[in-house]
Amino acid sequence: MTATINDIRSFWDDRARQFGSKARATLNESPLRRLEIRTMIGQIAACRPRRVLDVGCGNGFSTKQFAARFPEIEFFGVDYSEEMIRHAGDDGPDNCRFMVADVLKPQTLPKGTFDLIITQRCLQNIPDYSLQKQAIENLRKLLSSPGKLLLMECSKNGVRQLNKVRLALGRETIGNIQPWHNRFFLDGRMVRCYGAKIIHFSSTYMFLVKVVHPRLAKIALVLPPVGRFGYDKLYVID
């Protein structure tokens, strides 16, 4: 069965109804979330933007942490799930705002330009590559000059790498990493089409947790990323 955009949005509405403003409404693996947030904070600090758009911000769990860490930067979180945005609420720091908007409907996106646009596992929820491409084009039009896109999204290549190592160790492959509502990115395509630079920030974490043992998560978080084993990656487009 091919997932439709409406099915996927309903799925996220249901997650928001079920888990409200909790982190697990949008990710059930808290060490990985910590790694994502730490990585994104490092990137934001390096860019020193004035206005940041967080696309597919869900219930704003991460956006609020970015905003609290950088009080001098203005953050806008958008999501097409009204339920998610309802749970983002208005209890965040003063420098962050939330609104309902669909990245595939440019007229719904906030006005003005942004020097940094970020995603955290959003575009992989668009079920077809031609629409993902349209979403990236819509976001590029909102970038100021200079401006940067930081797309933190999951990669098919990363899943293949992990499974290769598992097979080499005589373990079965992990078959269900890409859920029904996701279409993971292809690294080669991102480099070819957008000149994306890829940061394999979850490589060490995934190698230790998904190949060696899940109990190694805490240790994995204090080690630097080595190799290309992780499927959660950061695609940087200038």
Ligand X SMILES: C[S@@+](CC[C@H](N)C(=O)[O-])C[C@H]1O[C@@H](n2cnc3c(N)ncnc32)[C@H](O)[C@@H]1O
> What residues line the site for ligand X (CB under 6 A)?
12, 26-27, 56-58, 61-62, 79-81, 84, 102-104, 120-122, 125-126
Instruction: Read off the amino acid at residue 234.
Output: L
Residue 50 CB, nearest distance to ligand X (Å)?
21
Tell me the one-letter amino acid at 65. Q
Quote the strand ranges of 121-205, DSSP E. Answer: 143-154, 197-199
For residues 62 and 37, the answer to whether their CB atoms sit within 8 Å is: yes
Q: Extract the tokens encoding 42.
A: 């490092």
Q: Of 65 and 163, which has the nearer Cβ to ligand X?
A: 65
Task: Give min distance, CB of 148 to ligand X, in A.
Answer: 17
Residue 134 CB, nearest approach to ligand X (Å): 10
DSSP class of 185: B
Q: How far is the CB of 28 from ligand X (least distance, A)?
A: 10
The nearer residue to ligand X, 202 or 211, going by C-beta atoms, is: 202
User: By C-alpha distance, which of 40, 31, 51, 194 is closest to 122?
Assistant: 40
Q: Which residues contact 188 (CB under 8 A, 6 or more apart)?
A: 157
95 vs 166 by CB, closer to ligand X: 95
Residue 22 Ramachandran class (φ > 0 left, ψ -120 to 50 alpha, else beta): beta
Are 73 and 51 spatial neighbours (Cβ–Cβ below 8 Å)?
A: yes
Q: Tell me the closest approach of the beta carbon of residue 123 to ligand X, in angstroms.
A: 7
Q: Which is nearer to ligand X, 82 or 238 (CB)?
A: 82
Pick the closer one to ligand X by CB: 89 or 227: 89
